[in-house]
Amino acid sequence: MIIIVYLSSKNCSGKGGVPSPTAICFLPFNHSPSKKAVFMRKSLLCFFIVIDTLFLISNADAFNGKRKGFILGGGLGAGFSTFKETVTIHDFFGSGTEVLESERENKFALATNFKIGYAPSDLLEIFFTVKDSWFSTKVYFLDESSGEDVIMASGFWGPGVTYYFNPEAPSYFITGGFGVSTLSLPFESHSEIKFGPGVYAGAGYEFRDHFYVELDLGYGKPKSLALFGIGESTSMLSVALTINALAY
């Protein structure tokens, strides 16, 4: 069973119970509502897992202290995400196509950053990276008058490169990548994940061996599968500042 969910700070009900065209749509399967406390506990669990991983990486002994070679890193920080939903409704009976756009949503977020890869030299890194922004929002269901607080994750998955201006710390660097953008409700059972093209660019500063700060700007347009003539796409822009540890 497919349920249309509206992600907005507003009630999704319009005249005669028809959803408001300004609400942001999401298509999960067999939604099972959870309490706010459950979301908070799961969010804190993820937070401490990332923190533990960060300390393990920073104290790893299996690396030679040179950037060239295998690299593994991650970090935490804060960010800001802004997104806008477009819903396209195709009429199978030939009356045309209707396009609905939501109001733009702006959210402060917890930012996480992970990468794993190889550095062919002390100046260049090539890696796979996962960058996510986690924030709280409300979902509205067609059969509900009040929303549920949930955690949403928007992210980037894909290859990236980093170029350092100095072979040793301290050093400034630039970074970027092109891959897949995502949008999901990670703590909702059987919820759909939206995928689409994504890109990011950033810069940072390694202030000492293995530790650096990074500022990223990312853009993506994840989409859901078109079901029953209804297609969704989300235009997302995010900024994140993270403190990271990198083993090499």
Q: Is 63 helix (H, G, I), strand (E, B) or coil?
A: coil
CA pair distance 199, 179, nearest whole angstrom: 6
Amino acid 228: pLDDT: 63
pLDDT tens, residue by residue, 62-114 = 456 788 889 988 899 999 998 888 877 766 665 567 777 777 889 999 999 99
Q: Mean pLDDT over residues 236-248, rounded?
A: 92
Give 183's pLDDT tier (boundaries 50, 70, 90): confident
Residue 148: domain span: 5-247
d(CA 32, CA 25): 17
Least confident stretch, 69-73, 85-89, 212-216, 220-224: 85-89
Say how many C-beta atoms besides its own lie within 10 A of residue 41's C-beta: 12
Concatenated DSSP letters of 116-127: EEEESSSSEEEE
pLDDT tens per residue across span 18-33 = 444 334 444 443 344 4
Q: Which residues contact 108 (CB under 8 A, 6 or more apart)?
A: 78, 79, 80, 135
pLDDT at position 101 is: 75
Q: What is the pLDDT of residue 21?
A: 39
Could you tell me which residues come within 8 angstroms of residue 47 by beta carbon, excluding any fewer than 6 positions away?
A: 76, 110
Say if residue 217's pLDDT is above 50. yes
Q: How confident is the model at residue 91, as a pLDDT? A: 65
For residue 170, say if its preceding peptide bond is cis, omega within 30 degrees of 0. yes
> Could you tell me the CATH number of the domain that includes residue 140?
2.40.128
Q: How confident is the model at residue 40 (pLDDT cuts 50, 70, 90)?
A: low
The structure tokens listed for 7 are 């992600």
Spatial separation of the C-alpha atoms in residues 100 and 209, rounded to whole Å: 50
Q: In the predicted model, is pLDDT for residue 11 greater than 70? A: no
> For residue range 185-199, what is the model confidence (pLDDT) as tens digits?
877 765 678 899 999
Q: What is the total count of domains within the chain?
A: 1
| 240: nearest Cα among 170, 175, 193, 167 | 175
Task: Judge whether residue 115 has pLDDT over 90.
Answer: yes
Give the per-residue pLDDT at 89: 74
pTM: 0.72
CA 16 to chain centre: 35
Q: What is the pLDDT of residue 248?
A: 85
Contact 117, 71 (CB under 8 A): yes
Q: What is the pLDDT of residues 139-155, one digit of tens each?
A: 665 445 556 777 888 89
Q: Supply the pLDDT for residue 233.
A: 81
Instruction: Name the nearest CA neighbour of 28 among 234, 191, 224.
Output: 191
Query: Is the pLDDT score of 38 beyond 90?
Result: no
Mean pLDDT of the chain, nearest integer:
76
Give the largest CA-CA distance in the chain: 67
Token pair recorded at residue 131: 């960058």
Give the model's pLDDT for residue 13. Answer: 42
Token pair for 247 = 């083993």
Instruction: Work out the percent of the chain whose per-residue pLDDT is above 70.
Output: 64
